[in-house]
Structure 1
Amino acid sequence: MSNASASASPLEQGSLTGKRALVTGSSRGIGADTVQYLADAGAAVAINYRNKEARAVKLADAIREQGGTAITVGADLTDPESVRSLFQTIADEWGGLDILVLNASGGMESGMAEDYAMQLNRDAQVNVLTSALPLMSSGSRVVFVTSHQAHFIRSTPTMPEYEAVALSKRAGEDALRALLPELTEKGVEFVVVSGDMIEGTITATLLNRLNPGAIDARKEAAGRLYNVGEFAAEVASAVVDPIPADHTRLVGDVSSFEPISE
């Protein structure tokens, strides 16, 4: 079961009743907890996974047992045909989409193509959003999840082991921001949620394996790091909270990062 089930929901019960939400990369971790928060608030949720079907099905079953509505949709987001099938499923099941949380990311996995980080963190993000837009109407919202290490990479260097991923995620954020005029014209809202390193994530585990002590050092510099459930609560809140003027919600300590101008 996700950490969210043990934490107070950041959203009012019933506040998302009638809303339809897709969270990419949501069979585990931050995505799974975000799904649980949205479902607890009444949203019908689509749980997207690449190869963790059993985890996705378990989460969907738990949500249904609690009286919620959930479907599972497998898709490799770097494969356009797979993305097309994903949104066809959502169109067939729901007829539309109100909330899109772009949570899926990667690039530190072994055995992937050299440009996999850019394929997933930039190209796939743009393709998923543009594929979702025909299903979204005025008042819908898109939330892009990133890290301070990526968001601030143009002004603050990150650890070498994470640099390629950070650069690709920042490229993805920039490419999504370039779509803001189109989103605004359609009435679709957009917000970036950027957080510090999150304890308990796969990325943090891999980084600490490659650079022992890295997470402890970052925790000491920041004072504290959010855990998965806490950060997911911030992502879920971004679904309903007012959009900041710069479309960016910064979570956790930012004193170590040089500001950038969007």
Structure 2
Amino acid sequence: MYAIDLSGQSALITGASRGIGSVIARRLADAGAAVAINYRSRGAEADAVVDSIRNSGGHAIPVPGDVSDEAAAEVVVKSAAEQLGRLDILVNNAGINRDRLLMRMSVSDWDEVLSVNLRGTFLPTRFAVPLMVRQRYGRIVNISSVVGLSGNPGQANYAASKAGQIGFAKAVAREVASRNITVNAVAPGFIEFEDTGGMTAGLTDEQRQQILTRIPAGRFGSADDVAAAVVYLVSPGASYITGQTLTIDGGLIA
């Protein structure tokens, strides 16, 4: 096994002020990449991520902006590329959920989730791809979910957005493969992390045990499990992998 070295590369991670996004940013920085920490409203938390990376000897910058807004997304991508000198890696991580059964789901519940999760993937990718085409190199990873593959009651909007990220990755991968750009997705299952709790937040002990019986690995995943997959997919060793979805779920939907 070889150590992954991303020295000299630059990465933009959307929605990276906390949760999985912040851990992905830290792991990319650990591998040597300079990272841009995008956030919409959690400036203090984004600054804390930037400081932690810098204190560990890495290079990080904060880049504010709502990536579901066209003008703001363009500024986010261009700002990251200009400040870091280039843009090699884009991780589309920004996402929200508004869980309700379909018959109680409002149009605003639907629109907001699709806007942040799917439009917020399309727009940064739309502005990043021309930069990557010109340099004939790029790595794009969408943070989807197993819910986008299996569905889940009460999450029709979330599942649709996450399935859309997977289809989007497959289509764009075919468009840009000849320019040495790969586009993939990762689909986490039940992931725990310290700052927000992840998909296991709010579960009772009984619910946790019921879910664990469905996971062959016998445990919930960690944000590091997801980050490790992302670091691999953007590494030189994954240069022949594109249009794929890597499921990080301990065998839940195998």
Contact 1:77 1:128 in 2 (8 A): yes
Equivalent in the alignment of 1:124: 120
Distance (Å, rounded) in 1 between the aligned partners of 2:181 and 2:143: 17
Partner of 1:144: 142
Q: Distance in 1 between matches of 2:166 and 2:87?
A: 21
Aligned partner (choices 226, 233, 244) of residue 231 of structure 1? 226
Answer with 164-173 or 25-34: which moved more: 164-173
> Judging changes above 3 Å, is the alpha-carbon distance between structure 1 residues 187 and 58 closer, same or farther for their aligned structure 2 residues?
same
Give me the TM-score of the superposition, normalised by structure 1: 0.81
Amino acid at match of 1:249: L
Flag the 1:180–1:196 CA change in 2: closer, same or farther, 3 A. same
The answer as to 2:30 corresponding to 1:40 is yes
In the alignment of these two chains, the number of paired residues is 240
Q: CA deviation at 1:149?
A: 1.7
The corresponding residue for 1:195 is 188
Question: What runs of 5+ residues in structure 2 fail to find an aligned partner?
Answer: 101-105
Once residues 81 and 215 of structure 1 are traced to their aligned partners in structure 2, the CA distance between those partners, rounded to angstroms, is 42
Contact 2:173 2:242 in 1 (8 A): no
- Mapping 1:237-256, distance limit 5 Å: 237-240=232-235, 241-242=237-238, 243-244=240-241, 247-254=244-251, 256=253
Instruction: Report the alpha carbon displacement of residue 203 of structure 1 after superposing the two structures with TM.
Output: 4.8
Give the % identical residues. Answer: 30
SS in structure 1 at match of 2:61: strand
1:112-135 Cα deviation digits (max 9, x unpaired):
933111112222211110111122
Partner of residue 178, structure 1: 171
| Distance change in 2, residues 1:203/1:118 (3 Å) | farther
Partner of 2:103: none
For the Cα contact (< 8 Å) 2:190–2:200, is it kept in 1? no
Q: Which runs of 4+ in 1 moved over 6 A?
A: 109-112
Q: Secondary structure at the match of 1:26?
A: coil
How far did 1:207 drift?
A: 6.8
- CA 1:255–1:124 in 2, change beyond 3 Å: closer, same or farther? closer
Q: In 1, distance between residues paired with 2:168 and 2:242? A: 18
Residues 1:214 and 1:80: Cα distance change in structure 2 (over 3 Å):
farther
Question: 2:220 is aligned with what amino acid?
Answer: L
User: For the Cα contact (< 8 Å) 2:144–2:187, is it kept in 1?
Assistant: yes
Structure 1 segments unaligned to the other structure (5+ residues): 1-9, 258-262
Of residues 88, 96, 101, the one that matches 2:86 is: 96
Instruction: Supply the AA of the counterpart residue of 1:81.
Output: A
